[in-house]
Structure 1
Amino acid sequence: MKYFLYCALAASLMPSIPALAQPTPKPAAASATTYTVQGRVTDRSTGQGLPGVTVLAKGTTTGVSTNKDGTYSIQVPKQAKLLLFSSIGYMQREVKLTGQTTINVWLASDSQQLSEVVVMGTAPAVQKQEVTGSVSSVITGKAAGVSVRGSRSLKRKDREAAASAPYGYAYPGQPEPGAGESYATIAENGFRNATKEPLSTFSIDVDAASYSNVRRFLQQGQLPPTDAVRTEELINYFQYNYPQPEPTAPEPFRVITEQAQCPWNPEHQLVQVALQGRKVPTEKLPPANLVFLIDVSGSMQGDDRLGLVQQALRLLTKELRPQDKVAMVVYAGAAGTVLPPTAGSSRADILAAIGRLTAGGSTAGGAGLRLAYQVARQNFNKEGNNRVILCTDGDFNVGEQSDQAMERLITEERESGVFLTVLGVGQGNYQDKKMELLADKGNGNYAYLDNLDEARRVLVQQFGGTLFTIAKDVKLQVEFNPARVREYRLVGYENRLLAAEDFNNDRKDAGELGSGHTVTALYEVVPVGAPASVDPLKYQPATPTPTPAATAELLTVKLRYKQPQGGSSKLLEQPLTGQDRPLAEASENLRFAAAVAQFGMLLRQSDYRGTATWEATAALAKGARSYDPDGYRAELVRLIKLAEGLRPSPTELGSR
C-alpha cells in the first residue's frame, strides 16, 4: 500500500501551535486584556460535533483545539479581530469578533481538498488495516487511532476567497447560509390604494419560530437567508405591556390601536393594531390530553436535535398536573406508541419513556401523524385541551412527502378538534417551510428551539399560551378611510393574507390565540397630502380631496373569532380616531415593535426600509426596554449589533 506523509498536509492547513500537541488545558481565568469565547463546532451536513478543529485568534499565537464533542473555550486577546476555524477535510471559516462570548459555527466538507485518503491504524499491537468511508466519519472518531493524509487540489484563489468570505454571503467553495434547509418564498407586501382597496384582511399569527431561527444564524456568525425572516414573527416573539381584557368582558382578548410617526419614513404614519389574550392561571386551565409525537429518524441524531427534544419534554413534564394525560408516539421507518395515555402525576413513567428514545432509520412522518391523531381522538376530552405536540426537523422522506399531501392530511385531522403544536429543532436539513405549513393547517402554533432556554420559554414560561387555545380562527379586517389615508402597507403577514370575502366565511381557517398571547400588526400609512408612491393618472380627472376633520376616523378594525370548540364566529369592531403624533411621544409598545420591524426589513434588505439604519434601529430598541421581564429586548439590541457587524461592505457586494 502506498502511504502519504500526514505531517506535510497538516502543516499546510493548520497553524503551528505547540499547545495543540498536548491535551487541551482548562482555560485560565480571563484577564483585563482578554475575554472568554466558547462554543461548538459542528459538521455542516450531519450536525455532529467536530473534534480536533483548530480555533485560532487570527494574527496572534493564541489557539486551542475542540474537544471530542466539538466544544471549545479560548481566551481571546481584546485586540483580536477574527477567529479562524480550520480542520483537515473542511473549508476554513472566519468569524468577525465584535465582543460576543458565544460563537457556534459549522464547517462544510471540502470535497475537492483530498484527492486520495489513506487511513492507517497507529495503536500499539493493532494490525494495519485500511478503513473506507467519508472523511467526516473518520475525523469524528468512528475509526479509533487513525491518521488521514491526502493532497490538496482546490485552487488557491478559491480557498482564500472561502476563508475570508463574510458569513451570510457565498463565495466559491462556500455554501449559501441555510443551504439544505427549506423556507417558503416571501414576496413583501406593497402599498395599496385606500380608495381602490380599502380592506386589508389577514389571519393572526402567534408563531415566533422565525426569530429564534434568525438568532441561531446570527449567533453562528451568519446573516440568515432572506426568506427565513418573517417580520411578523420577529415582532410577535416579544411580550408587550398591553392591558388585560376587563374581567367582565365577554371576549377573551382586548383590541388595542395606536398611531404615530413612522421611524423609517417620517412623512408616513405607523399604525399598531394589537390583541391581548386573557391570561388564564395554570390551575384554572382545562385538563390537557397531550400526545407527544417525536421524530426518531436518523436525521434527528445529535444533542441539538433529539437530545434537545428530550430535554424540552422533560421540562414540559414537570409542568403537568394530575388531571393532565400524556401519550407518546414515535416514528422512524414506522410509527408506534411507546407510552399509553398516562396521568401527569406519573412523572417517573413519562420521564422514563423520554429517556429511552434513540434515533435511527428513515422518516415515516405521515404514518406518525395519523397514529398520533388517532391516539388523541381515542382519549378525547370534550371539556379539555386536546393537542398533538410534534417534535422534528421536518425532514419527512417516507409516506406523505409533498406539501400538498401533508396539507390534506392535517386539514382532515383538524376536524376532530385536536390542535397541533410543532417544535422544530436542528440545522443543515431543517425544513421550516413544511413545519410552518403543518402548524398553520393544523389549528396550532410553531416554535423553533435553538437552545434549551428557548424550550423553557415556550413550554414553561408560556405553558398556557403554547398549549391552551382561548380563541380559534381569529381574523382581522382593517378598513381604511380614504378621506385620511392615501395608501397603506401591512408589514409582514405575507403568508397569512386572506381575500376580503374570507372574513365572513366561517369555513375559512385562520390563526389561534393562546392564553396570555399577544398579537401585534403594523401598518405603514401614507396620509392624504403626503407624496404618493404612484404618479397621478393622466387620463382620469383628479378628484379634489377635502381636508378631513381632526375627529374623522382613520380606520376601523373588524375582528372575527370562534370559541375553541365552536363553529360560528363572533364579530367585533373598533375605530381609530385622532391625529398622529411624534414617535417620541408614542407608547413603548409601539416604539419597540417599530424597532423589531426595522430589524426585519434590514435583514431582508427590504425595498421599503426607507431611512432605516442598524444604528438607528439599535437606538430605537434600546430606548424601549423599560418593560423587559425576561431580558429578550436587551438580547435584541445585541443581535442588531451582531447583524450590523456581519453585513457586507460595498466592496464585498461589488466583487460578487
Structure 2
Amino acid sequence: MYSHKNLKSFGLATAADTGAALNTRPRDAAMNTESYDYVRGNDFLEVVHNPLSTFSIDVDSASYANVRRFLRSGCLPPAGAVRIEEMINYFDYRYPQPSGDRPFSVTADVAEAPWNPGHRLARIGIKGREIPWDERSPGNLVFLIDVSGSMESPNKLPLLKKALRLLLERLDERDRVAMVVYAGASGLVLDSTPGNEQGKILAALERLRAGGSTHGSAGIRLAYEVAARNLIRGGNNRVILATDGDFNVGVTDQGSLVRLIERQAAGGVFLTVLGFGMGNYKDSTLEKLADHGNGNYAYIDSLREARKVLVRQAGGTMMTIAKDVKIQVEFNPARVQAYRLIGYENRLLAAEDFNDDTKDAGEIGSGHTVTALYEVVPVGVCFHGRGVDPLKYQRPARAAAPAEGSDEIMTVKIRYQEPDGGTSRLIERPVVDSGGSLRSADPDFRFAAAVAAFGMLLRDSQFKGKATFGLVEDLAASARGRDPHGYRAEFEELVERAASLWRQRR
C-alpha cells in the first residue's frame, strides 16, 4: 500500500486550458493506436423463426461524443466507433415520469420508417425517476485516476482534473471521497474523506502529474478494496475510473481485465468510466469494463461535455435506480413479417436470459432516458429474407388465433432489479400500430429516427435504405423543439460536417 507521502511520482502539475473541444488531428497518424471493436449491424429476422428479441439496455453516451471529436477534427469516424444506440441515448427525450413505486416509465409507439416508408419504426422509451440531487443517497466515491505518461497531453490529465473538480464541488458531508492513482504502480493519494472537506480533496487532485507506464489492473484492485472498506449500506458506492484505457503493465488483455472487473463488481460497487484523449484511446476496452462492471461509460472531449455528464446529468451518472434491466419483445406473426433491432449489437441476450436473474444487464440512473428502435416489416409488404430450407421433422408454427384477431404488433416485457439486488420485477406492455405517419409522430420520435439514420450513414450500413444526410438534416431540424443546452442544434452542425467529409471522400 502506498500513501501520498511516499509517492513522489504523483507530484505537482500545472493544468493547461482544456475548455475547448478537441479539433486537431493526431500529430502523427502513423502513431495512432486507437482501438474499436468490429460491430456487424443486426440483420432482419423473420418472426416465424425468431418471435422473440432480447437485449440489455444501454445508457452509455461515449460513442456520440467520440464521433463528434472525429468530425470536428476533420475526419469521418471508423465504423467501430459508431454505436447507434449510444448516439440515440446521448440525447434526453420527454418521456413521462414513472408513477407509483416503479423506478421508470415505459413508452411505446409506431410510425413509418423515414429511410424506408414501406416499413414501420417502433420505439420503446424508458424514463428513470428523477431524484433531486439534494435528496440523493450518501455517496462512497473512489476516484481511480490514470496518471501514466500517456495522460500528459492537455486533453487528458489536465482536462480530467477540471472535469472532476466540477463533480467534487457538488459533494457535501453526506459523501465520502477517496482517490487512487496508477501508473507504473498504484497508490492511495487520498483516503476516504468527508465530501465537505473540499480543500483537502481538491489539493490532492491538483498534486497529480503524469508519468510512467500504465498498471491499470493494480489500480482497479486497490480502488475496489478502498470502496469495500468504506461501503455504505443503501448508499451510492461507486468507483469512477478516468483514463485513456491504454493499459500496458500488469493485466493488459481485455478478457482478463473484464474478468477482474466482474469479480470486483460482485461486491455491490458500481462503476463509472470516463474516457479521455486521442491517438492511443482504447474505446473497446473501456466499453467492456463499463458493461461488465455494473457501470456507465462517457467520453469527455471538452469541459462542456464534462459539465453535461458530471453536473447536468450527475444523477443519471452517479445514482443507480434499477439494475440488470432487460427488454424482451415478442412480435405478432399475424401483423409482422420481420424486424431488425437498430443498434445494441453487443447487448443482445439469449431468450432464456430474460428470466435468469443471475444474468448481468444494464443499469438505469436517476433521470436517465433509454430509447430502442425496431425497423418492422408488416405482413403483406414485399420482403426477401435470407430464409432456411424447409424443416424435415416439424412444420413452421402458425400464429395463434388470439394473435390473428389482435391489432397488437408486439408486446414489450421489461425485467429489472432494485440496486441492492434480489428477485427481478416484470413490466409488460402491448403495442398497437395505428398506422400513424412520420409527420404525425412526436418531435422526440422524429429526432431519434434522425440520429439512427445518421448512425447508419456513418457506418455505411446496408440497411440505410433511402437515408441521406439531407434527409437527416431536415428531420432533425423539424424535431429540434426546445433545446436549452444546444445539443440538438449541435447535432445538425455535425450532420453538415459529415456530409461535407463524405463528399470529399467520394
In which range does the TM-score fall when normalised by the shorter chain? over 0.9
1: distance between equivalents of 2:463 and 2:32? 26
1: distance between equivalents of 2:186 and 2:387? 62
Q: How far is the alpha carbon of 1:319 from its aligned partner? A: 1.0
Look up the match of 2:356: 505
Q: How far is the alpha carbon of 1:558 from its aligned partner? A: 0.5
2: distance between equivalents of 1:647 and 1:102? 22
Which of 298, 303, 328 is matched with 1:452 structurally?
303
Look up the match of 2:188: 337
Look up the match of 2:252: 401
| Cα pair distance change 1:597/1:503, threshold 3 Å | same
2: distance between equivalents of 1:498 and 1:481? 20
2: distance between equivalents of 1:632 and 1:187? 28
Q: Secondary structure at the match of 1:596?
A: helix
Look up the match of 1:310: 161
2: distance between equivalents of 1:231 and 1:591? 15
Look up the match of 1:591: 446
Q: Any idea what the Cα deviations from partners look like across 1:498-529, whole Å, max 9, x if unmatched?
A: 00000011111000000000000000000000
2: distance between equivalents of 1:388 and 1:543? 49
| Cα pair distance change 1:574/1:103, threshold 3 Å | closer
Given that 1:188 and 1:494 are in contact with CA atoms closer than 8 Å, whether structure 2 keeps it comes out as yes
Given that 1:392 and 1:425 are in contact with CA atoms closer than 8 Å, whether structure 2 keeps it comes out as yes
| Cα pair distance change 1:244/1:539, threshold 3 Å | closer
Q: Secondary structure at the match of 1:270?
A: strand
Look up the match of 1:300: 151
Q: Any idea what the Cα deviations from partners look like across 1:131-151, whole Å, max 9, x if unmatched?
A: xxxxxxxxxxxxxxxxxxxxx
Q: How does 1:479-490 map to 2 (within 5 A)?
A: 479-490=330-341
Which of 71, 80, 105 is matched with 2:24 structurally?
105
2: distance between equivalents of 1:538 and 1:104? 53
Q: TM-score, normalised by structure 1?
A: 0.72
Look up the match of 2:328: 477
Look up the match of 1:85: none
Which of 549, 562, 565 is matched with 2:420 structurally?
565
Pairing 1:609–2:464 present: yes
Larger Rg: 1
| Cα pair distance change 1:361/1:486, threshold 3 Å | same
Pairing 1:208–2:61 present: yes
Pairing 1:322–2:177 present: no
| Cα pair distance change 1:502/1:639, threshold 3 Å | same
2: distance between equivalents of 1:537 and 1:357? 60
Pairing 1:184–2:45 present: no
1: distance between equivalents of 2:289 and 2:474? 37
Residue identity in the other structure for 2:476: A
| Cα pair distance change 1:367/1:647, threshold 3 Å | same
Q: Secondary structure at the match of 1:567?
A: strand
Given that 2:332 and 2:403 are in contact with CA atoms closer than 8 Å, whether structure 1 keeps it comes out as no
Look up the match of 1:387: 238
Pairing 1:290–2:145 present: no
Look up the match of 1:233: 86
Pairing 1:369–2:224 present: no
Q: Secondary structure at the match of 1:197?
A: coil
2: distance between equivalents of 1:412 and 1:535? 41
Q: Normalized per residue, which structure has more helix? A: 2
Look up the match of 1:600: 455
Q: Structure 1 unaligned runs (5+)?
A: 1-68, 72-100, 110-173
1: distance between equivalents of 2:25 and 2:158? 18
Q: How far is the alpha carbon of 1:404 from its aligned partner? A: 1.1
1: distance between equivalents of 2:482 and 2:405? 32
2: distance between equivalents of 1:493 and 1:538? 29
Q: How far is the alpha carbon of 1:341 from its aligned partner? A: 0.8
Residue identity in the other structure for 1:104: N
Q: Secondary structure at the match of 1:474?
A: strand
Residue identity in the other structure for 1:601: M
Residue identity in the other structure for 1:458: V
Q: How does 1:218-297 map to 2 (within 5 A)?
A: 218-246=71-99, 249-297=100-148
Residue identity in the other structure for 2:33: G
Given that 2:23 and 2:73 are in contact with CA atoms closer than 8 Å, whether structure 1 keeps it comes out as yes
2: distance between equivalents of 1:199 and 1:550? 20
Number of aligned residue pairs: 486
Look up the match of 1:463: 314
Work out which structure has the larger RCO, using CA pairs closer than 8 Å and 6 or more positions apart in sequence: 2
Q: Secondary structure at the match of 1:350?
A: helix
Given that 2:21 and 2:301 are in contact with CA atoms closer than 8 Å, whether structure 1 keeps it comes out as no
| Cα pair distance change 1:561/1:539, threshold 3 Å | closer
Q: How does 1:162-201 map to 2 (within 5 A)?
A: 179-201=32-54
Given that 1:280 and 1:515 are in contact with CA atoms closer than 8 Å, whether structure 2 keeps it comes out as yes
2: distance between equivalents of 1:326 and 1:547? 57
2: distance between equivalents of 1:498 and 1:629? 37
Given that 1:252 and 1:278 are in contact with CA atoms closer than 8 Å, whether structure 2 keeps it comes out as yes
Residue identity in the other structure for 2:264: E
Q: How far is the alpha carbon of 1:537 from its aligned partner? A: 7.8
Q: Secondary structure at the match of 2:232?
A: coil
Look up the match of 2:479: 624
Q: Structure 2 unaligned runs (5+)?
A: 1-15
Q: Any idea what the Cα deviations from partners look like across 1:198-240, whole Å, max 9, x if unmatched?
A: 0000000000000000000000011000100000000000000
Look up the match of 2:491: 636
Q: Any idea what the Cα deviations from partners look like across 1:551-572, whole Å, max 9, x if unmatched?
A: 5211000111000012221111
Given that 1:103 and 1:221 are in contact with CA atoms closer than 8 Å, whether structure 2 keeps it comes out as no
Given that 1:241 and 1:627 are in contact with CA atoms closer than 8 Å, whether structure 2 keeps it comes out as no
2: distance between equivalents of 1:222 and 1:596? 19
Q: Secondary structure at the match of 1:105?
A: coil
2: distance between equivalents of 1:642 and 1:570? 44
| Cα pair distance change 1:262/1:367, threshold 3 Å | same
Q: How far is the alpha carbon of 1:534 from its aligned partner? A: 2.3
Residue identity in the other structure for 2:438: L
Q: Secondary structure at the match of 1:232?
A: helix
Given that 1:390 and 1:420 are in contact with CA atoms closer than 8 Å, whether structure 2 keeps it comes out as yes
1: distance between equivalents of 2:263 and 2:396? 51
| Cα pair distance change 1:377/1:102, threshold 3 Å | closer
Look up the match of 2:10: none
Look up the match of 2:5: none
Q: Secondary structure at the match of 1:212?
A: helix
| Cα pair distance change 1:618/1:360, threshold 3 Å | same
Q: Any idea what the Cα deviations from partners look like across 1:66-117, whole Å, max 9, x if unmatched?
A: xxx999xxxxxxxxxxxxxxxxxxxxxxxxxxxxx988222544xxxxxxxx
| Cα pair distance change 1:346/1:614, threshold 3 Å | same
Q: How far is the alpha carbon of 1:577 from its aligned partner? A: 1.6
1: distance between equivalents of 2:300 and 2:278? 11
User: Structure 1 vs Structure 2: percent identity of aligned residues?
Assistant: 55
Residue identity in the other structure for 1:105: T
Given that 1:551 and 1:578 are in contact with CA atoms closer than 8 Å, whether structure 2 keeps it comes out as no
Residue identity in the other structure for 2:422: G
